[in-house]
Amino acid sequence: MKKQFALKNQDDTEFVQPNVIHLFSLVGMFITLVMGIIELFNEHTMLASILFVASFVYFLGYFAFTRLNNSALSAAIILYSLYLLMFYLVYSGGVENTGPLWIFMVAPVSVFIHGLKRGLIDIAGFLIIISLIMFFPIEIMDHAVYSIEFKLRLIYSFLTVTFLSALYEYSREKSYLHTVELSKKYRQLANLDPLTQLSNRRDALNILKREQVRMKRNKEPLSVILCDIDFFKKINDHYGHNAGDTVLVELAKLFKHSIREQDCVARWGGEEFLFILPQTTAENANIIAEKIQENIHEFAVPIEGEEVSITVSMGIEQLDRSKNIDNVINSADKYLYQAKDAGRNQIFPKHK
């Protein structure tokens, strides 16, 4: 199949799950709001204020996702506001110096939101800043004092959680890519004829529907050619079905090299092929059909030491606003049988 009709690739390297980011921002907003209210009642005014600000920032992340439809911005707001909150909790100690215990959520959230590579870079930067805050605190306001054993064990524990999070994310990404690859392969199998590797009937109909929409939008012509191999049954009967398959495969290759970049050829069924020709009138489709026939006249399939010549009959029809796809295919089919009735190796109708 030509590039024009290749399957559209999904963004396979994007591992962010927008729905989870949306949920995280919503949950984060309510949790920090509730914690802020609790700390306010406990007369921890500074911590309560920080939590209220964090709740508002999570709201901004929620707003960026729901209103601006920008999951990347929402993810950045959520992640880096989480970092800032953790910096404050480590610096101030939180409630009774338990603030640092919250940093363990940073590793899984980071690798989930930004993927393995960038997530680990973010975590490395976070760990450096946390270490500086604990070992070399700047006297901005009252800050927590931790024992050297606590600092080291906190860092060791954080590195362990980071390793486990990275291992999980690596496995998740590998599984995701494998699933995407399998899905892509199954989509291709569903849309390709296994023998000729051309589009099958289902894919051809989907392409026709897309081209019909584009034709109506751009007011451009669209034509089809229905092609049938002459006396194909005799080839199967005389040489066997394997020889018939060889003819179909070799003819499919010739067809693909005989059409333009924007065109598509599909195996319509049995020994029938359908050519879809965008931006093409019936008159120009006739020229393309004649070119294909000329190529076939110079073409022979080697079977059991013999050079077997092939001819085809073709029916042409142009799609316009007054016709649906079924009508166009049926019309092309009628022209095809007129070509066969006229002695085969013909193109109907003739356009001059």
Q: Which residues are catalytic?
A: 271
User: Which of these, 281, 292, 282, 287, lies nearest to 227 by C-alpha position?
Assistant: 292
> Other CB atoms closer than 10 Å to residue 47's CB: what's the count?
22
User: Which of these, 53, 77, 81, lies nearest to 66 by C-alpha position?
Assistant: 77
The CA–CA distances, whole Å, from 282 to 42, 215, 255, 265, 337 equal 82, 14, 18, 16, 17
> In the chain, where does DSSP find H-type helix?
18-41, 45-66, 71-92, 106-135, 148-191, 201-218, 232-239, 241-258, 282-297, 325-341
**In the block, which residue shows the tokens 């215990």?**
101
Contact 199, 264 (CB under 8 A): yes
Q: Is the peptide bond before 349 cis (omega within 30 degrees of 0)?
A: yes
H/E run at residue 272: strand 272-278
Give every CB contact of residue 55 below 8 A, 6+ residues apart in sequence: 28, 29, 30, 32, 33, 36
Dig out the tokens for 121 from the structure: 């870079």
Supply φ then ψ for residue 108, to 5 degrees: -65, -35
Distance CA 50, CA 242 (A): 76
CA-CA-CA-CA dihedral for 235, 334, 4, 179, to nearest 10: -70
Dig out the tokens for 158 from the structure: 């954080």
Distance CA 226, CA 53 (A): 67
